[in-house]
Homo-oligomer: A and B are copies of this chain.
């Protein structure tokens, strides 16, 4: 640690990226990535002429991409925030709306980023236990006074809350902010985006890293009230005004408009998911009802750690 690091970061817990060993070629299952290429329209969009023009700054208002997302999801571009990956979108949500000592809660088993950010930035966070079936208990979240972050489907369980359950949480306390992280929503689930029309205390975050096969392009977005999106843009303009590259704006705009390709990719992932689930169940695995592009499994006799080790020996990274 340098002499200069701010004292308040002494207890930070930086995110530790998943293992990426280079000793052999692995089948990587540990980041819920896609092995399908992005829409062919992305290749067209990242054209030679666009690369030749890179001497010019990209649009800091990200108009083209915000309009493309807005049209796809039936909301105005002024209700869309775009970021350099959904992590940056979440980072700007947290930076804008949570100060040190503000009260936040999320499940004890969920996407690690929430804890990492909250701990480092001294937010007063509570991790609410899942129930014995690994489900989020909606009553816990209706009861709490804390602001809320929920991944839906949850990661790594793949289990979901219904949109009507989430509406119960959101509607119950209008001054409580609720962030719903829908990274995996496209795999056959219902989105909470329509609720943002009605509730000013709801932010829905999505990513291009899963169903759009663009993890390496770093594109995420939030949909909320115009006021929330204005706040996030103002905060962005004080931290990094030009946060989206010309590449990200072009690739994202092309990908989001290709809904036919999205459906084909999702269909293909779901077919694989059904096939693998059946095979695992034949081998006595418990498989939690899947709603994402991954399976959450356990075996009656063999521990998860041991299974991961055995898979790694066979060239498969599961953790």
A201, CB-defined interface residue at 8 Å: yes
Interface residues on A, range: 35 or more
Interface residues of A in 109-143 (CB under 8 A from B): 116-117, 120-121
Chain B contacts for A33, CB-based, 8 A: 55-57
A164, CB-defined interface residue at 8 Å: no
A204, CB-defined interface residue at 8 Å: no
A17, CB-defined interface residue at 8 Å: yes
A191, CB-defined interface residue at 8 Å: no
B-contact 0/1 string along A128-164, CB 8 Å cutoff: 0000000000000000000000000000000000000
CB of A98 to closest CB in B, whole Å: 7
CB of A89 to closest CB in B, whole Å: 9
CB of A96 to closest CB in B, whole Å: 6
A248 to B247, CA, bound (A): 9
CB of A292 to closest CB in B, whole Å: 15
A12 to B71, CA, bound (A): 31
Interface residues of A in 188-243 (CB under 8 A from B): 200-201, 209, 213-218, 225, 227-228, 230-231, 233-235, 237-243
* Contact B38 A56, beta carbon cutoff 8 Å: no
Task: Tell me whether chain A's interface is mostly helix, strand or loop, or mixed.
Answer: loop
* Contact B53 A216, beta carbon cutoff 8 Å: yes
- Selected from B4, B117, B216, B233, the residue in CB contact (under 8 A) with A245 is B216
- Selected from B99, B238, B240, the residue in CB contact (under 8 A) with A12 is B238
With A43-B48, A120-B238, A240-B87 already in contact, the answer to whether A5 and B216 are too (CB < 8 A) is no
Chain B contacts for A15, CB-based, 8 A: 237-238, 241
Chain B contacts for A4, CB-based, 8 A: 96-97, 177, 201, 228, 231
B-contact 0/1 string along A71-110, CB 8 Å cutoff: 0000000000000110110010001111100100000000
Chain B contacts for A214, CB-based, 8 A: 54-55
State which of A58-66, A256-264, A303-311 sits at the interface with chain B.
Answer: A58-66
